[in-house]
């Protein structure tokens, strides 16, 4: 999500576009789109909406294949915290994609909407990095590493993984997979065994996901918005509050040379990572 969020109100769906809302009843909307790399801005916005008495419900507008494991999990726990307070409903609306880490987040909501053709699911964990050892050999470069602890340099992308390292990393992935399954089961109020049977990493359409109890209702964002508004006593077109996103200007780019000329020394700085991500 965007790097900077300014807490400002923007009315839509027939409301004023002057950037401010009345002090009446509002629906707070948070967009979760693209790969999830950080939880900070989303969690901050969730807390602001939770504490704002003019916000009667929160809708997560999701279009994401997931992302890094820890941020996805952190956002899920914040969504679940708000849901369990029962002060206001928090709803997830999946647009094109709500997979892996994005589905993890959605499962913490009170209700999940998805379009018939939305992509839903992909409950699983992936760990990956690029092995460039052959390239270094071709270039006659040889990394030298000094470490203490047998697994301290596990995941070194300049060499092949050892059998011991493979077992070690598989154990980490399996542990995260168990957390994913448990949290989704808790969020969906389903037995863990039922979720585990679906946790093969595969995806379903929204239409297929409904009888599997992965979503609660077929419908788009507007359906989710209007029905949520009605559930909290708002009639007619709801007043929607969204965070104002500050987009980078040409001055921002020109004042940061790294945006124009990437440091060639960082080309190979890709470390092993754990992801709740659908490719």
**Domain locations along the chain:** 5-277
Separation of alpha carbons 176 and 182, rounded Å: 10
- The model's pLDDT over 138-194, given as tens digits with 9 standing for 90+, comes to 988 888 888 888 888 787 887 888 899 899 999 999 999 999 999 999 999 999 999
Query: What percent helix, strand, coil does the chain show, rounded to 5?
Result: 35, 20, 45
DSSP state of 149: S
Element (H, E) at 275: strand 273-277
40, 258 Cβ separation under 8 angstroms:
no
CA-to-CA distance for 256 and 182, rounded, in angstroms? 43
Measured in whole angstroms, the distance separating CA 245 from the mean position of its chain's CA atoms is: 17
Q: Report the range out of 11-15, 45-49, 237-241, 270-274 with the highest average pLDDT.
A: 45-49
Task: With cut-offs at 50, 70 and 90, classify the pLDDT of residue 16.
Answer: very low
Inter-residue contact 91 to 121 (CB < 8 Å)? no
Instruction: Tell me the pLDDT tens digit for each residue of 66-122.
Output: 999 999 999 999 999 999 999 999 999 999 999 999 999 999 999 999 999 999 999
Task: With both helix axes pointing from N to C terminus, report the angle between 40-51 and 69-85 in degrees, rounded to the nearest 10.
Answer: 10
pLDDT tops 90 at residue 278: no
What does the alpha-carbon distance between residue 110 and residue 157 come to, in Å, rounded to a whole number? 42
Nearest to 56 by CA among 25, 15, 11: 25
Name which of 74, 136, 139, 129 is nearest 105 in CA terms: 74
Specify the pTM: 0.82
Query: Tokens 């000329």 label which residue?
Result: 261
Separation between Cα atoms, residue 13 and residue 148, nearest integer Å: 60
Scored b (16 or more CB within 10 A) or e, 130-147 reads eebeeebeeeeeeeeeee
Instruction: Write the DSSP symbol of residue 155.
Output: T
Cβ pair 170, 98 in contact under 8 A? no
What's the CATH number of domain 5-277, 3.40.640.10, 3.50.50.60, 3.40.1350.10, 3.90.226.10? 3.90.226.10
Let me know: does 180 contact 276? Beta carbons within 8 Å. Answer: yes
Comparing CA positions, the residue from 138, 137, 101, 152 lying closest to residue 272 is 152
- Triad 246, 241, 84: Cα angle to 5°: 110
What residues are annotated to the active site? 100, 152
């Amino acid at each position: 999500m965007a790097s900077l969020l300014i807490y400002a109100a923007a009315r839509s769906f027939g409301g004023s576009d002057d950037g401010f809302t009345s002090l009446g009843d509002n629906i707070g909307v948070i967009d979760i789109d693209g790969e999830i790399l950080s939880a900070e801005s989303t969690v901050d916005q969730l807390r602001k909406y939770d504490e704002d008495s003019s916000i009667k419900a929160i809708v997560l507008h999701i279009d994401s294949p997931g992302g890094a494991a820890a941020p996805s999990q952190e956002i899920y726990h914040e969504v679940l915290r708000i849901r369990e307070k029962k002060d206001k409903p928090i709803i997830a609306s999946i647009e094109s994609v709500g997979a892996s880490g994005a589905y993890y987040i959605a499962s913490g909501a009170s209700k999940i909407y998805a379009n018939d053709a939305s992509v839903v699911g992909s409950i699983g964990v992936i760990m990956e990095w690029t092995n460039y050892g052959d390239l270094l050999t071709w270039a006659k470069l040889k990394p030298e590493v000094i470490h203490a602890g047998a697994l301290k340099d596990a995941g070194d992308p300049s060499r092949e993984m050892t059998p011991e390292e493979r077992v070690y990393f598989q154990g980490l992935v399996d542990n995260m997979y168990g957390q994913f399954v448990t949290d989704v089961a808790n969020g969906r109020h389903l037995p863990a065994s039922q979720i585990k049977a679906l946790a093969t990493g595969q995806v379903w359409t929204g239409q297929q996901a409904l009888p599997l109890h992965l979503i609660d209702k077929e419908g788009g964002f507007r359906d989710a918005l209007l029905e949520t508004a009605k559930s909290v006593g708002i009639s007619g077109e709801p007043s929607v509050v969204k965070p104002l996103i500050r987009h980078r200007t040409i001055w921002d780019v020109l004042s940061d040379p790294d945006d124009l000329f990437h440091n060639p020394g960082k080309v190979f700085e890709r470390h092993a990572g754990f992801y709740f991500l659908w490719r």
